[in-house]
Structure 1
Amino acid sequence: MIHYIFAFFIGFIFFDYLKKEIVNYQCKKLKGPSILPIIGNLYTIKDDTHKVLLKYHETYGPVYRVWMGDYFTIVINDLDLIKKVFVENYYNFLNHSDIPSIENISHNFNGLPFNLDKNEWKRRRIIIAGALSKIKLKNVYSAMTNINSQFLKTIKEFSDTKEPFEPHYYSDKLIVDINFKLFFNIDGGYDTTLDTFKKLADSFNNLVLELGTAKLSDYCFILQPFLRKYYHWFNKDRDYIDSFLKREFDLHFESFKPEYIENPRDLMDTMIGKIGENLDRPSLKKEVVEMLFNIFIGAIDTSAGIINWSFIYLANYQEIQEEVYLELKKIACDRPIELADRISTPFLNAFIKEVERIRPVIPLSVPRIGSEDIVIDGIKFPKNCQVIPNLYGIAFSEKYWDNPNEFNPSRFFTKSASSVNYSIFSYGPRACVGQRFAHDMLYLNIGNIIKSFKFSSFDGKPVDDTGVLGLSLKPKHCKLSVQERND
């Protein structure tokens, strides 16, 4: 009996390796590292995946292949090819990866970002895009100034007491407050000392970290059922966020009025008004929670990450911090920064762009899956291949940037850098639906933070800017000194 089991195991390994090599041969124009049976190249890219894939670009060129377990994966470090794949041929690459971690966080591939039904995805995107128009968000934009003002008062307490400021929780708090107003019309009542906020923040972070970890059980077909079973029994983070969203839905549904269809209080009102006519309450509740779940996590994780990174680079680059401050002081000496100031603040705009470039919060975007065989620029993308647009690789490519390892906002005043169409929000129809709102939010908050305070390292040493990778690339926890600006 043992001999049969051993023979089966050896045979399975052999045929798995042979299958992978056949695909490699069919796509022989693509080079890549040597593979192992079953795990492929996961043994090399499990830790610091973004850095490993960047090194592979140096060896195998701007486009190469790796095997993530059973998933043949093409990694792209070329903007022109990324646009041809995700813009010109978007319909073939609409779907995201179907691994169990995504299945778990997306409620069985429902919601918006990870929906596998192309027609359903289109319907839901139209609803969300309409809800995120400036007209629909007028209440949120007007409230954002007050939320930022409260945030600045919190930072001032650290300036007054000279206690170390730890930006990670407070960045999350700021974005949660804004998104609570956007999603639920809740006016920032969540203090960072309250268990509710901490549980929400921890649940967000745990889910994102889980999703960004390259697990063998995600990418090996024979192990996927066990991971699904694990998520079925041990899913407290998703369940906690679900329960919060369901509670907010019940409050909105019971207080909903017909006039909210045209003048919604928030995003949840918009969704109830748009999709509630033909659904009973349980079905409507299920769909609304599914749609809001991923958008809520993504909105908080990406925007909070960019603000958090901004604190790091302000502290590490004092001259740049001062230059941005002087620009802001000149155009808004005795008032807060407003969106109308954007045209007059080129250095602040460049600072935000450079933070997004050098530390892209979603460094590998979210992988897509090809629905059919297709050849683009002579490269075969086989059906069911996984495609990774390596935004981190592009950020550090000398093809697009001079001295890419250097933090230098002034690069965006040069013709070469300003012409690079680089976006951390991905490309094509499946790019982030809320990116315009996100850019407005980042501009207002980062601008007023810099105008009000000066940041430096608490211990006098450079702040660690290496980051921790989950689905997003976040700074390590740090302590900063804060000094209020009174000049």
Structure 2
Amino acid sequence: MFEELLQAPALASWLGLLAGLLAVYLLYSSWTFQDKQKHPPGPRRLPLIGNLHQLDLQRLDKSIFNLSKRYGPVFTVYFGLKKVVVLAGSKTVRQALINHAEEFGERETSPLFHDLTKGHGIVFSNGDGWKEMRRFTLMTLRDFGMGKRLSEEKITEECHYLIEEFEKHEGKAFDNTTIITYAVSNIISAILFGKRFDFKDPVLRYMVEHDKEIIRLVASVSLLIYNVFPKLGPWLKNWRDLTKNVEDFKQHLLHIINKQRDTFNPDICRCFVDAFCTRKLSLEESDAQRVHYHDENLTNSMMDLFGAGTDTSANTLRWSLLLMAKYPQIQDRVQEELSRVVGDRQITMEDRRNLPYIDAVIHETQRFANIAPTSIPHSTSRDVTFQGYFIGKGTTVLPLLTSVLFDESEWETPNTFNPSHFLDEEGKFIRRDAFLPFSAGRRACIGEGLARMELFLFFTHLLQCFRFTPAPGMSEDQLDLTPSVGFTLCPLPHQLCAVSRY
């Protein structure tokens, strides 16, 4: 009998049987483990591609939002072989990012962003390096007046330059994209480089164009697929173009940094670069933090700040003007409130408390525009049980901001532009917990205070001076609010008339 078992056909049969039994055992063990550790539900996935066949990569946030309506506020999708846990809805996202800030506070670094940053900078870093860079950056932004009078003066000055550019068009239709982007980028440039740039300055134009191209490439479908199958990188033109653009931008920044170093005086802090050099000098060789003060952290941090400080605020401002042209009755109320409360004098941040309708319009613009619909993915720092589900350490987590800003249980008319979302029955401004355009928790936008000030001052100065209307021959109904999809959501190319009110 034993010798018969050793014969090839019989041996193969026995080995096949053993393999089958082992497979059944492992499958049973897996079920048993999942019963003990309840994992978030989700759609059935296919080998290799996961759930990619169920997702629209050009409007990923909408695809995932639709899935949340079936699978609940905590569910799993697979991008290829990568497991991603989605958090949907205002209560769930807030609970995770605020009440469990430590567990959900790591940044998931995709293959693409690892290629670009190597874990340096602020946005795509973790650990002690991230803590030190974020702490230093917050301190530096505050020293340069973020949310204070000094920032207000710089923004107000930039408003006047922007108004002059609008006036040059003499009420004729034009695309305001570039000029708004230059004006907004000058605010963060004043902090980073200690100066504003003329709108024709090739340095400013170079940085804005490179930043725009990087954002466009990062959001391309081919690079979303690259994150799933990173070995494809060298064969993807967009990957090659992106890495070259980022490297060129870094070299450009290094050139500016070296010029700043040539005139560096530790007793006079002119900008972010000076603050970085001063901080490095203040640390002893033995200080653990000193290891983080090197050129890679400096250039990546400056790229993070320039990109975040330009794209989101500029696009939100563009949305606000488009919405005013689209809804003239709302623009009427904005300008009536401005005329009644401020008149012809210069607007200040102190005026915001007395301009509740305008404050509501700006907040509703941020909600409705939904600039960063999927946020930037997080990662769990340790095993966590959340809403009854087990989520293992190192799991990629996607806080779906679309599901917060358009949560039907939080907003009366989520799919409509409605400033009343932020007004009580007496017309006073009210804050809403579900208003999270800057995200929340440990990874909330570092420049939120500066961005809020920019949006208020730019918007009110422009609406004080101009009435915004569609281009001749176009009605309000023809203005398209469909977003142009990229890393952020911005308006489609369009032209508006800025007609002087005086």
Instruction: Give, in angstroms, the shift of residue 234 of structure 1.
Output: 5.9
Contact 1:140-1:181 within 8 A present in 2 as well: no
Residues 222, 286 of structure 1: CA spacing in aligned structure 2 closer, same or farther, 3 A cutoff?
A: closer
Task: Give per-residue Cα distances to partners, 1:177-211, cap 9 Å, x unaligned.
Answer: 222212112223232xx654444323212222333
Pair 98,70 (structure 1): closer, same or farther in 2 beyond 3 Å:
farther
Cα contact 2:404–2:434 (8 A) shared by 1 = no
**Counterpart in 2 of 1:190?**
199
Q: How does 1:240-319 map to 2 (within 5 A)?
A: 240-260=248-268, 264-278=269-283, 284-319=294-329
Partner of 2:161: 150
Q: How does 1:418-457 map to 2 (within 5 A)?
A: 418-457=431-470
Contact 1:368 1:388 in 2 (8 A): yes
Aligned 1:403-482 pairs, distance under 5 A: 403-414=413-424, 418-458=431-471, 459-461=473-475, 462-482=478-498
1:110 is the counterpart of 2:120: yes
Q: Is structure 2 residue 400 aligned with structure 1 residue 385?
A: no
* Worse overlay, 93-102 or 167-176: 93-102
Whole-angstrom distance in 2 between the partners of 1:234 and 1:398: 38
1:46 to 57, 76, 85: 57
- Corresponding residue number in structure 1 for 2:14: none
Q: Which residue of 2 aligns with 1:166?
A: 175
TM-score, normalising length from structure 2? 0.84
- Over 3 Å counting, the alpha-carbon distance change for 1:210 and 1:381 in structure 2 is farther
Give me the whole-angstrom Cα distance separating, in 1, the residues matched to 2:227 and 2:47.
Answer: 13
The CA distance in 2 between the partners of 1:167 and 1:311, in whole Å, is 9
The answer as to whether partners of 2:404 and 2:436 remain within 8 angstroms in 1 is no
**Deviates most, 281-290 or 248-257:** 281-290
Question: CA offset at residue 112 of structure 1?
Answer: 0.9
Where does 1:124-135 land on structure 2 (aligned, <5 Å)? Answer: 124-133=133-142
**Alignment of structure 1 residues 60-75 onto 2, 5 Å:** 60-75=71-86
Contact 1:65 1:75 in 2 (8 A): yes
Q: Give the fraction of aligned pairs with identical amino acids, expressed as a percent.
A: 22
SS in 1 for 2:85: strand
Residue of structure 2 equivalent to 1:484:
500
Could you tell me which residue of structure 1 aligns to residue 356 of structure 2? 346
In structure 2, the partner of 1:7 is: none
Q: Which moved more, 1:465-474 or 1:162-171?
A: 162-171
2:128 maps to amino acid: N
Quote the offset at 1:381 in angstroms.
1.5
The question of 1:206 aligning with 2:213 is answered yes
1-structure distance, mates of 2:68, 2:413: 17
The number of residue pairs the alignment matches comes to 460
Q: Larger deviation: 202-211 or 244-253? A: 202-211
- Contact 2:90–2:407, Cα closer than 8 Å, also in 1: no
Alpha-carbon offset, residue 28 of structure 1: 5.7
Pick which of 194-203 and 92-101 moved more.
Answer: 194-203
What residue is the counterpart of 2:11 in the other structure?
Answer: none
Matched, 1:367 2:377: yes
Counterpart contact for 1:111–1:291, Cα < 8 Å:
yes
**C-alpha contact (below 8 Å) 1:165/1:481 kept by paired residues:** yes
Q: Is the 8 A contact 1:401 1:417 kept in 2?
A: no
Residues 305-328 of structure 1 deviation map (CA, whole Å, 9 limit, x = unaligned): 111111111110101011011111
Q: CA deviation at 1:53?
A: 1.7
Structure 1: tracts of 5 or more residues without a match: 1-14
Say if 2:181 and 2:310, in contact at 8 Å, map to a contact too.
yes
- The residue aligned with 2:105 is 94
Return the alpha-carbon distance in structure 1 between the equivalents of residues 71 and 321 of structure 2.
35
Q: Is the partner of 1:481 in helix, strand or coil? A: strand
Q: Is the 8 A contact 1:38 1:220 kept in 2?
A: no
Shift of 1:276: 3.8
C-alpha separation in 1, matches of 2:452 and 2:145: 17
The structure having more radius of gyration, on CA atoms, is 2
Counterpart CA distance in 1 for 2:150 and 2:249 is 24
- Structure 1 distance, partners of 2:403, 2:107, is 20
- Give me the whole-angstrom Cα distance separating, in 2, the residues matched to 1:121 and 1:29: 30
Shift, 1:85, TM fit = 1.9
1:419 Cα deviation from its structure 2 partner: 3.6
Amino acid of the structure 2 residue aligned with 1:206: E
CA distance in 1, matches of 2:81, 2:466: 50
1:320 matched to 2:345? The reply is no
For residues 232-265 of structure 1, the C-alpha deviation after alignment (integer angstroms, 9 at most, x for no partner) is: 78623212321221122112111111222xxx22
Unpaired segments of 5 or more residues in structure 2? Answer: 1-22
Equivalent residue number for residue 176 of structure 1? 185
Tell me, in whole angstroms, the C-alpha distance in 2 between the residues paired with 1:216 and 1:478: 27
The whole-number CA distance in structure 2 between the counterparts of 1:130 and 1:446 is 27
Counterpart-to-counterpart distance in 2, 1:77 and 1:201 = 33
- Comparing 174-183 and 130-139, the one that deviates more: 130-139
Partner amino acid, structure 1, of 2:65 = L
For each residue in 1:97-121, what CA deviation from the matched residue of structure 2 results, as whole angstroms up to 9, or x when unmatched?
Answer: 221221234x2110011112x2221
Deviation at 1:286, TM superposition (A): 3.3
